[in-house]
Structure 1
Amino acid sequence: MADITGDQRIQSEVLEGLATAVNHRRWFVELAMPYLGENPIEVGSGLGDYAIEWAARLPRFTATEADPDRLVQLEKRMSGFANIEVRQLLLPADGLAGEYSAAVSYNVLEHIEDHVGALRGMGALVRPGGRVILIVPAFMFAMSRVDIATGHLRRYTKKSMRAAMDEAGLRIERLHYANALGLIGYYGATSIFKLAPKEGPMVRLYDRFVLPVTRAAERVVRPPFGQSVFVVARTPG
C-alpha cells in the first residue's frame, strides 16, 4: 500500500475535525455493521475512531496502519481494548490470507495509486465468500486543495467503483451514494471558500443538526449523488 502523502498539518486538522463529527461517524459505523461478521480487519485505521465503535459490538477486531508513526499512536490508543489487535499492514499481506470475516476500509482507497491491486489485497485477507466494505469520497468535480493536501489521487462515482471492483474480481452486493447534503457543504467550503473541514463550530453544527436529517431522508430515498460512495462486495467462493 502506498504511504499517504500530502500536507501533514492539513491531514491532522481534517482527522481531528472528523473525530468531532460523532453523528457522521455513527451513521457510517451502522452502514458496515451488517456485513462485518465476527472477526473483521480494518485497513487503514487512522486514529482508530471507527475501530473503537465497531469493536464495542464484536468479539474480535483487528485495526491496522501502514504508516509507522500513526501505528505507534494507534497502538497507544488501543492498549485498553482487550478485543482489538493492532498491527502494521502493507498490501498485499500474504501471511494473513483468508483469516478474516470481512475487510473494511474507510477513506483509504483514494490514496492508493494501484487501487485495483489494493482491492485484490483486501479481498485476499478475507475468507471465501466474505465481504470487502468501503467508503470513498465521491465525484471528481469536488476534488479540492484539501483532497490534494491529504493525498487523494481520485474521487469515485458508482460507475468507477463498479469498474474497479469488477477488475479486482469482487462481486458487488450493495453500492450507493451517502450524505448528499455533505457533498454540497464540502464543495462549498473547500472549492468556493477555500476552507479545510477542521474542528470548529461549523462542523459541530452540521453534525448535530443537518446530518441527522440527511441520514433519516436517505433511509427512505437513495440520493443520486453524495459526499461518499458506500460499497459492499463479496469475495469469490
Structure 2
Amino acid sequence: MNEYIGKDLESMSFAKNYSKWLVEFCEPYLGSTVAEIGAGTGNLTELFSRHPDIEKLIAFEPSEKMSDILQKKMALDKHVKAVNNTLMDEKDSYINCFESILYINVLEHIENDRNEAATIYECLKSKGYVCIFVPALSFLYSEFDRSIGHYRRYHKPQLVDLFQSQGFNIINVKYVDMPGIIPWYIAFVLLKKGLNKNNTSVYDKIAIPIIRIIENIITPPVGKNLLLIAQKP
C-alpha cells in the first residue's frame, strides 16, 4: 500500500454525512469482531466503535504519521486496537479471526488487489463478511487519483470477479453517487483540481443527504463509487 501523506484524504474529515452513509452501508454485516483496513486518522473508526454489536475493533493503518494520530484518538476506547501495519503483513496473527473486514476507500491503494482479496478470505471466519467501498469508472481516473496512490478505479464486473475468484459469495454490489460523476469529471479530470475542505463540505452538506435518500430507494445504474458486500462460505 502506498504511504500517502493524507492531506487531501483528511479533507474527508469534514464530510460528516458522507461518513455516516458509509457506516450505514456496512452496519448490517459488522458482527462482534471487526477489522478496519486503512483506518487513516480514525474518522470512520470513531463511528464504527460506537456500534453496539462491535466488541473488538482492530484498526490497521500503515502510515506511521496517521497511525500515531489514530492511536491517540482511540486511546481511551478499550475495545479498539490500532495496528501500524497492513493486514497482509499481519495476517498470520489473524487467520479465521474476524466476523467482518472493512475496506473503505482503501483497496484502490493496493497494487496487488488479488493477493489482498485472498488475505481477506484467510482472515475472515466462516460466514464472515467483507465490505468494500471503492472509486468507480476508469474514465474518472485523474491526476488527483494518481497523486494519492490510486492504482485504479473499478467497474462492477471487475470487482465481482476479484472476490468470486477467491471463493466469496457476492451478497450485494452496486454503484453509488451517480450525481457525483459529472462534478468529479469536471473538477478532477478536466480542471485537475484536488480535494479541499470547502468543496468537500459543500457537497457533503447539500448533495449527500439528497443522494442518500434517493439511492436508498432507487439503485443507480452507474455511480462515482462502488459498494460490494461479499461473504466467506
For the residues of structure 1 that align with 2:62 and 2:202, how far apart are their CA atoms? 33
Q: Which residue of 2 aligns with 1:208?
A: 205
Secondary structure, counterpart of 1:97 in structure 2: coil
Q: 1:44 aligns with which of 38, 41, 51?
A: 38
Q: Tell me by how many angstroms 1:113 deviates.
A: 1.4
Report whether the alignment pairs 1:18 with 2:12. Answer: yes
Report whether the alignment pairs 1:225 with 2:222. Answer: yes
Report whether the alignment pairs 1:59 with 2:55. Answer: yes
* Contiguous gaps of at least 5 residues in structure 1: none
Secondary structure, counterpart of 2:170 in structure 1: strand
Secondary structure, counterpart of 2:83 in structure 1: strand
Q: Which residue of 2 aligns with 1:161?
A: 159
Query: Structure 2 vs 1, CA of residues 88 and 67 (structure 1 numbering), >3 Å: closer, same or farther?
Result: same
For the residues of structure 1 that align with 2:3 and 2:58, how far apart are their CA atoms? 24
Output aligned runs, 1:1-237, within 5 Å. 3-5=1-3, 8=5, 11-12=6-7, 14-57=8-51, 58-90=54-86, 91=88, 93-200=91-198, 202-236=199-233
Q: Is the 8 A contact 1:189 1:197 kept in 2?
A: no
Secondary structure, counterpart of 1:37 in structure 2: coil
Q: Is the 8 A contact 2:3 2:63 kept in 1?
A: no
Q: Is the 8 A contact 2:117 2:166 kept in 1?
A: yes
Q: Tell me by how many angstroms 1:216 deviates.
A: 0.7
Letter in structure 2 aligned against 1:32 = C
For the residues of structure 2 that align with 1:109 and 1:59, how far apart are their CA atoms? 25
Q: Is the 8 A contact 2:70 2:82 kept in 1?
A: yes
Secondary structure, counterpart of 2:165 in structure 1: helix
Alignment length (residue pairs):
229
Say what the alpha-carbon RMSD is for the aligned residues.
1.4
Letter in structure 2 aligned against 1:130 = G
For the residues of structure 1 that align with 2:227 and 2:148, how far apart are their CA atoms? 20
Secondary structure, counterpart of 2:197 in structure 1: coil
Q: Percent identity?
A: 26
Q: Tell me by how many angstroms 1:60 deviates.
A: 2.3
For the residues of structure 2 that align with 1:61 and 1:219, how far apart are their CA atoms? 27
For the residues of structure 1 that align with 2:200 and 2:102, how far apart are their CA atoms? 25
Secondary structure, counterpart of 1:102 in structure 2: strand
Letter in structure 1 aligned against 2:201 = R
For the residues of structure 2 that align with 1:78 and 1:20, how far apart are their CA atoms? 19
Taking structure 2 as the reference length, the TM-score comes to 0.93
For the residues of structure 1 that align with 2:75 and 2:177, how far apart are their CA atoms? 33
Secondary structure, counterpart of 2:45 in structure 1: helix
Letter in structure 2 aligned against 1:78 = M
For the residues of structure 2 that align with 1:121 and 1:144, how far apart are their CA atoms? 29
For the residues of structure 2 that align with 1:86 and 1:216, how far apart are their CA atoms? 33
* Contiguous gaps of at least 5 residues in structure 2: none
For the residues of structure 2 that align with 1:114 and 1:169, how far apart are their CA atoms? 17
